[in-house]
Chain A
Amino acid sequence: QKEVEQNSGPLSVPEGAIASLNCTYSDRGSQSFFWYRQYSGKSPELIMFIYSNGDKEDGRFTAQLNKASQYVSLLIRDSQPSDSATYLCAVNAGGYQKVTFGTGTKLQVIP
């Protein structure tokens, strides 16, 4: 079982719709959870991180964490063509500093 799993996609949504990206992780000791965005040919950049169960909102982005189900999601409201990228989920076990990435989900927002 992979440590961090994501559906590779592509996930296609029309402009203005909500895009829902999902991630599961295997280490129950994980404490910090991150979403990075990577445009083609570019390096990953942080969108947001979450520590606690529940939702965390930042503009059009909402991260959701359910530690009991070992599940993290990212919602993008009012999706724009500029949101088209690969979204990487990353997990950290807190005191142990390794940050493990999933393989990413490719999102395509159709104008």
Chain B
Amino acid sequence: GAGVSQSPSNKVTEKGKDVELRCDPISGHTALYWYRQSLGQGLEFLIYFQGNSAPDKSGLPSDRFSAERTGGSVSTLTIQRTQQEDSAVYLCASRPRGGANVLTFGAGSRLTVL
């Protein structure tokens, strides 16, 4: 696609429910990143994919968080048993192979846990 597409754009859920956030990167971009941005804060690195593998999962906050990528394209970030502190904007970014490590971001998925 023309840009990085994320869905849903807005998700309100109850504490304890599971949520799935989807990212569709720019066509041909091999690397995909997930970040979390809490209100008024910077970008917190969660996980990075090169192709379908995740060389760096160091930022996932807990075992309630998981992510996968299939077909070297779409990625899903899953949060199980959501907590109020999971409320944030989840940003996905992608970049092509090689060249400068310049990230193109999607519009984000805003998650609110009640």
Contacts and interface: CB of A to CB of B under 8 A. Distances in A.
Interface string B24-48: 0000000101010000011101001
A43 B56 contact: no
A92 B106 CA distance: 20
A45 B105 contact: yes
B100 A49 contact: yes
Contacts of A92: 101
Contacts, number: 49
A45 B91 CA distance: 12
A97 B56 contact: yes
A99 B92 CA distance: 13
Chain A residues touching B, range: 20 to 34
Contact of B102 (A34, A43, A88, A96): A34
Interface string A73-95: 00000000000000010101000
A30 B38 CA distance: 26
Contacts of A25: none
B42 A102 contact: yes
B107 A100 contact: no
A49 B104 CA distance: 13
A40 to B, nearest CB: 10
B50 interface: yes
Interface of A: 6, 32, 34, 42-46, 49, 88, 90, 92, 96-104
**What are the 6 closest A-B residue pairs judged by CB atoms, nearest first?**
A103-B42, A43-B105, A101-B43, A92-B101, A104-B42, A98-B56
